[in-house]
Amino acid sequence: MNATLQSWLTENLQALKDQHLYKVPRILETPAGGRVRMNGREVVNLSSNNYLGLANHPKVVEAARKSIEEWGVGAGAVRWIGGTMKVHDELEERIAKFKNVEAVLVFTSGFTANSGCIPAVLTSDDVVISDELNHASIIDGVRLSPAEYRKSEGWVYGHKDMNHLEDILKRAGNFKKRMIITDGVFSMDGDIAPLPEIVALAEKYDAFVMVDDAHASGVLGRNGAGTTSHFNLYGRVDIQLGTLSKALGVVGGYIAGSRLLKEWLINRGRPYLFSTALPPMVAAALIAALDIMENDPEPMNRLWDNAKWWKESLASLGFDTMGSETPITPVYCGEEEKAVRMEQMLWEEGVYALSICYPTVPRGRARIRTMPSAAHSREDLEFALEAFKKVGRSLGVIPSTAEV
């Protein structure tokens, strides 16, 4: 092995450790749920995106099992070469109907959906206007495109600042196309984009809108159809990204929009063109998960009941949840070292809640990110709350006299 490379890796890994930014994944030893076994111990899991508990729902598991018997475990090829099976086509038709759009194209992940779609619809004659707190996959997708996009030159607007967005749009008139891109629900803060105002400004200045609904899928809108549904903006949002790995509990992502958009991405979306198709059992499991989302309101109701109780309980103790409006509930710590220490102490109390630090969030804005879900019982959350109270007092995150 090259000594120079290994020396560089050693030095930079140590730098991460010194800055309290070094990550070591814990090993999940049970199916995803409200209580799990990780690294040999049982903990309440507050770091899962399994919003509705569908990752191990019996109907979803059975659909995957039956699909293996019918289709095998792999698609065998890139989709356009011969890897698109009937079950993939059925999944896209079901999602399109669910989202109330003309067409949907499924990718292997939400990340690849962003990195496939954004560069495909932009040229060097265009500009991207982006919320400053957009997800890393949006940022990487934009960087892969030839369009104009630099924070230093003013194409990134302050978080949810509509006056700033309009100022940028006024300066962007010389570009051929203007894309406004935003998360629907911001993944580290849990707040919701002001989509009606964004759409109104886009229509005023001849821009088009792309919304990443990864954390709104299954959470907001009719049966969990996302922010376009939540705000009743059907037909006014040009591109919607959704995930299949969070509320739907399996894996994958998709782009929803016009039939022309789908045709273009089939021909120019690089992750679609050069990645083997999702296993057919994944598509079958997702169809079953969609059936549950569309016909059984109980998981979504339970999700929101748990989220409401959790937020109110944390607030009553004095924790700062940073204005979260959705089940994503950050607990503000500030210092990276304090957030990492809080994660460790919560783990010792039997709660897995991840610390989020730079570069995922700005320096000095570290937090514990909690995710109450439909998979949690009230007893799970009460147990977790006691741990947060004990640890929060010890670290000075909340007053030592804090009581529920």
DSSP per-residue string spanning 111-156: HHHHHHHHHHT--TT-EEEEETT--HHHHHHHHHSSSB--GGGT-E
Domain for residue 142, yes or no?
Answer: yes
Mean pLDDT over 195-211 rounds to 98
Domain count within the chain: 2
| Contact call for residues 314 and 331 (beta carbons, < 8 A) | yes
Are 242 and 388 members of one domain? no
Domain for residue 15, yes or no?
Answer: no
Both ends of the chain: CA-CA distance in Å? 56
CATH number for the domain that contains residue 83: 3.40.640.10
pLDDT band at 314 (very low <50, low <70, confident <90, very high): very high
Are 205 and 347 members of one domain? no
For residue 70, pLDDT beyond 80: yes
Domain for residue 87, yes or no?
Answer: yes
Predicted local distance difference test score (pLDDT) of residue 399: 84
Are 79 and 197 members of one domain? yes
Are 353 and 222 members of one domain? no
Give me the catalytic one of 145, 187, 355, 373.
187
Q: Residue 242 in 3-state DSSP?
A: strand
Q: How far apart are CA 334 and CA 356, in angstroms?
A: 10
pLDDT in tens, 21-53: 888 999 999 999 999 999 999 999 999 999 999
Domain boundary among 278, 310, 337: 278
Nearest to 169 by CA among 160, 157, 184, 158: 157
pLDDT band at 376 (very low <50, low <70, confident <90, very high): very high
Domain boundary among 243, 278, 313: 278
Name the DSSP letter for residue 10. Answer: H
Helix (H) or strand (E) holding 170: helix 162-171
pLDDT band at 19 (very low <50, low <70, confident <90, very high): confident
pLDDT band at 56 (very low <50, low <70, confident <90, very high): very high
Angle of the 298-317 helix axis to the 280-295 helix axis, nearest 10: 80
Phi, psi at residue 367, to the nearest 5°? -155, 165
Predicted local distance difference test score (pLDDT) of residue 75: 93
Are 261 and 322 members of one domain? no
Are 29 and 177 members of one domain? no
Are 311 and 214 members of one domain? no
Are 236 and 156 members of one domain? yes
Domain for residue 120, yes or no?
Answer: yes
For residue 393, pLDDT beyond 90: yes
Give me the catalytic one of 99, 135, 246, 389.
246
Rg value, the chain, Cα: 22
Domain for residue 312, yes or no?
Answer: yes
pTM for this model (two decimals): 0.94
| Contact call for residues 213 and 248 (beta carbons, < 8 A) | no
pLDDT in tens, 121-168: 999 999 999 999 999 999 999 999 999 887 667 899 999 999 999 999
Nearest to 274 by CA among 394, 135, 160, 108: 108
Q: How far apart are CA 340 and CA 21, in angstroms?
A: 8
pLDDT in tens, 333-345: 999 999 999 999 9
Phi, psi at residue 261, to the nearest 5°? -60, -45
Report the mean per-residue pLDDT for the chain. 95
Mean pLDDT over 75-95 rounds to 96
Are 241 and 204 members of one domain? yes
What does the CA dihedral 302, 308, 314, 318 come to, rounded to 10 degrees?
Answer: 180
Q: How far apart are CA 13 and CA 138, in angstroms?
A: 26
Domain extent at residue 379: 20-53+297-395
How are strands ordered across the β-sheet holding 329-334? 329-334, 366-370, 354-356
Predicted local distance difference test score (pLDDT) of residue 152: 60
Name the DSSP letter for residue 55. Answer: G
Q: Is the dihedral of CA 380, 386, 392, 395 positive or negative?
A: negative
Predicted local distance difference test score (pLDDT) of residue 151: 65
Are 91 and 168 members of one domain? yes
In order of 192, 319, 321, 335, 376, the CA distances from 355 in angstroms are 22, 15, 14, 11, 20
* Residue 187 is a catalytic residue: yes
Are 177 and 239 members of one domain? yes
Domain for residue 348, yes or no?
Answer: yes
Domain for residue 290, yes or no?
Answer: no
Q: How far apart are CA 380 and CA 53, in angstroms?
A: 14
Extract long-range pairs of 150-155: CB within 8 Å, 24+ residues apart. 155/127, 155/128, 155/129, 155/130
CATH number for the domain that contains residue 330: 3.90.1150.10
Predicted local distance difference test score (pLDDT) of residue 90: 97
Token pair, residue 60, equals: 């979803």
Give me the catalytic one of 88, 135, 160, 215.
215
| Other C-beta atoms lying within 10 Å of the C-beta of residue 208 | 18
How many residues make up the chain in this entry?
A: 404
Domain boundary among 251, 278, 305: 278
Name the DSSP letter for residue 102. Answer: S
pLDDT in tens, 280-306: 999 999 999 999 999 999 999 999 999
Are 31 and 178 members of one domain? no
What are the beta bridge partners of residue 303? none
Predicted local distance difference test score (pLDDT) of residue 110: 95
Nearest to 271 by CA among 251, 249, 254, 248: 254
For residue 404, pLDDT beyond 60: no
Token pair, residue 76, equals: 């065998």
Domain for residue 66, yes or no?
Answer: no
